[in-house]
Amino acid sequence: MNELEELYKEIQPKIYAFFYVKTFDRASAEDLTHDVFYEAVKGFSSFSGKSTLQTWIFSIAKNLLKKHYRSKKYGENLKDQLAADEAIPPLSPEDLYMLKEGNEKLLQQISRLDDLSREIVTLRIYGELSFQEIGELVDKTENYVRVNFHRSKLRLQKEMRVNDE
């Protein structure tokens, strides 16, 4: 269990970033991040060691995200978010900084990738997983993931340059 506690300190920001990129909602990302570690502690005795602990935790995260999308709460939150978007609140200084630095553009470009490429890029950039770990999570070879990430990265760079011009 101590191993899980140590990993928590390292991986918690990555899990949060993964959820934030997927949901674009800080509250949901925080709740889902909490749920991942709750499930990990609860099910730690079932961890078989066939993958790294980090990969196992990200697989929990992926499963919780699927449940989140299917839940009725997600639909209600989506309606609330759409209603809130109609009355756009003023941006916080942190949000303005993120927009200024181009993070929003990058997230938009990532969201335009196909599902598998988006998953690979998100796990690599925000989850900071190795290509081998990502391959285990998406049921592809390490080489396939590496090539897909490289091609996606080139596509994103090209799109970012085109949009800047």
Helix 142-164, helix 131-138: angle, nearest 10: 100
**Closest by Cα among 16, 21, 52 to 122:** 21
Check whether 126 has a pLDDT greater than 60. yes
| 101 confidence band (pLDDT: 50, 70, 90) | low
Question: What is the per-residue pLDDT across 66-91, written as a single tens digit (0 to 9) for each?
Answer: 888 877 565 666 666 656 555 555 55
Higher-confidence residue: 157 or 74?
157
Question: What is the per-residue pLDDT across 127-144, written as a single tens digit (0 to 9) for each?
Answer: 888 999 999 999 999 999
| 98 confidence band (pLDDT: 50, 70, 90) | very low
**Per-residue model confidence (pLDDT) at position 16:** 92
Higher-confidence residue: 55 or 83?
55
As a residue count, the chain comes to: 165
Q: Which domains does the chain have, with CATH numbers?
A: 1-89 (1.10.1740.10), 92-165 (1.10.10.10)
